[in-house]
């Protein structure tokens, strides 16, 4: 026994030398000698198998890798090599078994997942191929971090999956038309959204407040208008609000840039709009306080604002303002500070070419039609027209918060202020 070990070590040393000095056929001969002494030698089986595969001797290659999967089946590489040999031999049944072996060893082995998807595809099994390509797309890291030899296969997996999802979506739409008809009157918006998300036409958006996240609330882009009956007053009086807006606009005093970061802090996506009058505001309520000079000029608007279930967060909320978006201005995608408050829009002046997106949903402002949205979901706005756009904006308690919860949040903000010794800002 010890003798064989000694002999083996000696031949292994010779193999190493032969490889180092580029004597390939010598190395091959030595590997074969090793296999005589140790038929389960992993390195030797691998070398012999690979050499046979390169020279087109598929039967010998297969014998080597068959044995490797037997003696070292924990390594998915031997299985995927075996699968590739079976593929060359047009032996789909054995190929499937080898892929199965690789995935048993490691369910997220990327090469095995690719081979499985491609096999289903070759066999014309479109649905299983789509699921398998989907698994490839899920498991693969982003292209930039992906080994170059996998990139074409992963790109193909993604496009196969996208194409399949598209057809799948069309099929589901046709099949569900009957259901939509049957439930004509029932609200099925969120069900339709779920279908769009399932087939990749929409994304799952989450609430991403930058400062204060309140758990247990639903993440809804635009809320049901019926939850805010007091908006009727704003809608009915849109003309009066717009008059007050026009008056202050003509006076041309009190508007200031909406984004006002100190110039010495990093401003990321706000660089362009920082201190920029392209997006400006006329504040009526600011950080929880009435802005006296401005408020006296807009009595009707202030009366209406008094009817709002406004958040009471000293130093932070409520806020209310006329928001003025100049022509050709885009507000980049961003998220708000806290999901305990929602944001209401009462559109006043809306030229063609303006839009507003919250998560998956893009809407147009229509004067006289107010809405309430969750600003902790990614949202953006644009005015691509040649005229300015004006909207009355203010915040509202999230309607799902109980009275006690609102009181607790108010107490929390007061406590933070008491500790930091000042009012204002949403930072800790």
Partner 1 sequence: MQEHEVSVLVQHGVKALRQGNTAEAIAAFSKVVDAGRGDASLLMALAAAYRRERRLEPALEKAAHALRMEPANLQAVLLNADLLADSGQTRGAAAYYLAALKLASTLESIPEAVQPDLARGQAFCNEQTSLTEHSVRVALAAEPASMASPRFCESLDIMFGRTKPYLQQPKHYFFPDLPHTAFFDPNQFDWVAELEQHTDAIREEVLALLATPDQFKPYVERNFRSPQFGVNRMVNNPEWSAFYLWKHGELIEQNAARCPRTVAAIGRVPLTQMPARSPSVLFSIMKPNAHIPPHHGMINTRLIAHLPLIVPNGCEFRVGNHIRRWQEGKVWIFDDTIEHEAWNRSDQTRAILLFEVWRPELSNAERDGVNSLFAAIDAHTGQAPAWEI
Find all residues with CB under 8 Å of 396, minimum gap 6, and list them: 228, 308, 309, 310, 311, 341, 342, 343, 344, 372
Residue 346 or 416 with smaller CB distance to partner 1: 416
Q: Rule CB under 8 A: choose which of 8, 97, 131, 393 binds partner 1.
A: 131
Instruction: Return d(Cα 302, Cα 394) in angstroms, integer.
Output: 11
Find all residues with CB under 8 Å of 102, minimum gap 6, and list them: 76, 79, 80, 83, 109, 111, 112, 115
Site for partner 1 in 382-411 (CB under 8 A): 400, 402, 404-405, 407-409, 411
Region from 39-47, 75-83, 174-182, 342-350 binding partner 1, contact rule CB under 8 A: 174-182
Residue 178 or 250 with smaller CB distance to partner 1: 178
Q: Rule CB under 8 A: choose which of 138, 159, 247, 307 binds partner 1.
A: 138
Residue with tokens 């001797």: 57
Indicate whether 416 belongs to the interface with partner 1 (CB under 8 A).
Answer: yes
Q: Rule CB under 8 A: choose which of 186, 226, 292, 306 binds partner 1.
A: 186
Closest CA relative to residue 139, chosen from 166, 161, 107: 107
CA distances to 72, 80, 111, 150, 328 from 115, rounded to whole Å, are: 20, 8, 6, 11, 50
Residues that bind partner 1 (rule: CB under 8 A) add up to a total of 66
Q: Rule CB under 8 A: choose which of 28, 176, 240, 291 binds partner 1.
A: 176
Angle subtended at Cα 255 by Cα 250 and Cα 259, rounded to the nearest 5 degrees: 150
CA distances to 114, 135, 150, 151, 157 from 144, rounded to whole Å, are: 18, 19, 11, 9, 16
| Cβ 335 to partner 1 shortest distance, Å | 13
Instruction: Return d(Cα 127, Cα 164) in angstroms, integer.
Output: 8
Instruction: Return d(Cα 376, Cα 6) in angstroms, integer.
Output: 70
Instruction: Return d(Cα 193, Cα 31) in angstroms, integer.
Output: 61
Region from 3-11, 54-62, 191-199, 244-252 binding partner 1, contact rule CB under 8 A: 191-199
Site for partner 1 in 85-104 (CB under 8 A): 100, 103-104
Indicate whether 146 belongs to the interface with partner 1 (CB under 8 A).
Answer: no
Indicate whether 263 belongs to the interface with partner 1 (CB under 8 A).
Answer: yes
Indicate whether 128 belongs to the interface with partner 1 (CB under 8 A).
Answer: yes
Instruction: Return d(Cα 402, Cα 217) in angstroms, integer.
Output: 11
Indicate whether 305 belongs to the interface with partner 1 (CB under 8 A).
Answer: no
**Token pair belonging to 191:** 């069900």
Q: Rule CB under 8 A: choose which of 181, 252, 352, 422 binds partner 1.
A: 422
Indicate whether 166 belongs to the interface with partner 1 (CB under 8 A).
Answer: no
Q: Which residues sit at the interface with partner 1, rule CB under 8 A?
A: 100, 103-104, 107-108, 113, 127-128, 131, 135, 138-139, 168, 171-172, 175-176, 178-179, 182-183, 186-188, 190-191, 193-195, 197-198, 204, 206, 211-220, 263-267, 400, 402, 404-405, 407-409, 411-412, 414-416, 418-420, 422, 427-428
């Amino acid at each position: 026994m010890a003798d064989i070990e000694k002999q083996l070590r000696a031949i292994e040393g010779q193999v190493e030398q032969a490889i180092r000095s580029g004597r390939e056929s010598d190395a091959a001969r030595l590997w074969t000698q090793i296999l005589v002494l140790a038929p389960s030698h992993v390195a030797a089986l691998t070398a012999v198998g690979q050499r046979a595969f390169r020279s087109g001797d598929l039967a010998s290659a297969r014998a080597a890798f068959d044995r490797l999967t037997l003696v070292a089946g924990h390594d998915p590489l031997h299985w995927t090599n075996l699968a590739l040999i079976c593929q060359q031999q047009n032996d789909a049944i054995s190929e499937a078994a080898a892929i199965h072996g690789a995935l048993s060893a490691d369910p997220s082995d990327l090469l095995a997942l690719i081979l499985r998807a491609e096999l289903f595809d070759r066999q014309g099994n479109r649905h299983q191929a789509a699921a398998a390509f989907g698994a490839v797309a899920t498991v693969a890291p982003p292209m930039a971090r992906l080994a170059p030899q996998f990139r074409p296969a992963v790109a193909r997996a993604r496009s196969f999956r996208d194409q399949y999802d598209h057809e799948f979506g069309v099929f589901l739409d046709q099949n569900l038309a009957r259901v939509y008809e049957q439930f004509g009157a029932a609200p099925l918006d969120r069900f339709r959204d779920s279908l769009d998300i399932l087939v990749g036409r929409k994304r799952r958006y989450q609430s991403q407040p930058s400062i204060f996240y309140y758990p247990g609330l639903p993440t809804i882009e635009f809320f049901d208008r019926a939850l805010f009956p007091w908006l009727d007053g704003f809608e009915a009086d849109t003309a009066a609000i717009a008059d007050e807006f026009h008056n202050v606009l003509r006076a041309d005093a009190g508007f200031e840039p909406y984004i006002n970061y100190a110039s010495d802090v990093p401003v990321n996506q706000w660089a362009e709009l920082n201190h920029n009058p392209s997006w400006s505001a006329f504040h009526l309520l600011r950080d929880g306080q009435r802005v006296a000079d401005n408020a006296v000029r807009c009595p009707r608007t202030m009366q209406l604002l008094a009817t709002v279930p406004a958040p009471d967060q000293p130093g932070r909320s409520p806020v209310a303002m006329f928001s003025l978006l100049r022509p050709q201005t885009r507000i980049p995608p961003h998220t708000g500070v806290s999901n305990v408050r929602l944001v209401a829009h009462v559109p006043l002046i809306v030229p063609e070419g303006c839009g507003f997106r919250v998560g998956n949903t893009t809407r147009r402002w229509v004067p006289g039609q107010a809405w309430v949205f969750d600003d902790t979901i990614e949202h953006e706005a644009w005015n691509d027209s040649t005229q300015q756009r004006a909207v009355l904006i203010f915040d509202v308690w999230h309607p799902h918060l109980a009275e006690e919860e609102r009181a607790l949040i108010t107490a929390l903000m007061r406590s933070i202020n008491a500790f930091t010794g000042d009012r204002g800002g949403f930072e800790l």
